[in-house]
Amino acid sequence: MTCKKGKDQAAGDVRLLIVDDEPLARRGLRSYANDHPGLEVVGECGDGYEALDAIERLRPDAVLLDVEMPELNGFKVIERVDPEHMPYVVFVTAHDQYALEAFRVHAVDYVLKPADRALMTEVFSRVIEEVRRKGLDDFNSRLTAVLEQLEYKAHEKKPHVLDRITVKVGGRIMFVDAAAVDWIEACGNYVNLHVGQSKYLLKTTLNYLGSRLDSSMFLRVHRSTIVNTRSVREFRTFLRGSYVIMMKDNSKLFSSRRFHARIESFLKLSG
């Protein structure tokens, strides 16, 4: 299915993208949005991969984002969006209790299905207000906090923390002590483990490996980078909300604004 574009935008309207895997739900949300002054629907998408493409191409100001979608759900979409292009997000959900708790605590907008016109009128008014006051830095901090809370809930039942990581080198299978890993970078469906002057390619995702590492030692600083905090020489402030991270192996890494709150929390606890 192809992501549909909306009609031409009126000057000053808030550009809205609708993402939901149910055509009937999309139709209803679009109808409510079209009737709301100050909004312009610039597109609608039926899955997470289409949403990523549409956010990159259309650069909407706001997105109504379904949480429960197959393959790539709403949270995974957010994890993959470039923070520089992050729109204001209103999550649309049917029943995810953990998510509702996180949304309420961190004041992130959500809509329970099925949504009616009166509710969406209130939501759209808040969306327009938030976008026009340019409060997206504050929103991104709240969104990061939501994702961290949900990530914590998801990992509460993880079997154990990895002490050693299995890697294949040629015809050999080796074991690398997790504590010896200086930093990890994502490479598509692989990750590179940087261990001193050595580097090992491992077929897994950064999200999965990060969920199995000791969170008191390893810190996510970018959507493609995890660092061993014991291998960090110093943090240097860089652009607003980001850092240059100087590693003991002389690597120079960069954090992203999306992980600013997480890094600040680590620095306060370590100070």
List the strands of the sheet with 4-5, edge to edge.
4-5, 39-45, 14-19, 62-66, 88-93, 110-112
Position 206 scores a pLDDT of 87
Contact (CB, 8 A) for 206 and 189: no
Nearest alpha-carbon partner for 167 in 203, 213, 214: 203
Query: Distance of CA 256 to CAs 61, 154, 232, Å?
Result: 20, 23, 16
Position 168 scores a pLDDT of 87
Helix runs in the chain, H state only: 23-34, 48-58, 74-80, 97-105, 117-132, 136-155, 206-211, 260-270
Nearest alpha-carbon partner for 245 in 52, 203, 237: 237
Query: Within 10 A of 102 (CB to CB), how many other CB atoms are there?
Result: 23
pLDDT, tens digit (0-9, with 9 covering 90-100), for 6-45: 444 444 799 999 999 999 999 999 999 999 999 999 999 9
pLDDT, tens digit (0-9, with 9 covering 90-100), for 251-268: 999 998 878 878 887 887
List the strands of the sheet with 198-202, edge to edge.
198-202, 190-195, 183-187, 225-228, 218-222
Contact (CB, 8 A) for 98 and 153: yes
Mark the ranges of the chain whose per-residue pLDDT is less than 50.
Answer: 1-2, 6-11, 156-158
Total residues belonging to the chain: 271
Taken in order of first residue, the domains within the chain and their CATH numbers are 4-155 (3.40.50.2300), 164-270 (2.40.50.1020)
d(CA 3, CA 46): 7
Tokens of 270: 């370590």
Position 55 scores a pLDDT of 92
Number of continuous H segments (helices) and E segments (strands) in the chain: 8, 16
Position 243 scores a pLDDT of 94
Check residue 250 and give left, alpha or beta (phi > 0: left; psi -120 to 50: alpha): left
Task: Please state the pTM of the whole predicted model.
Answer: 0.53
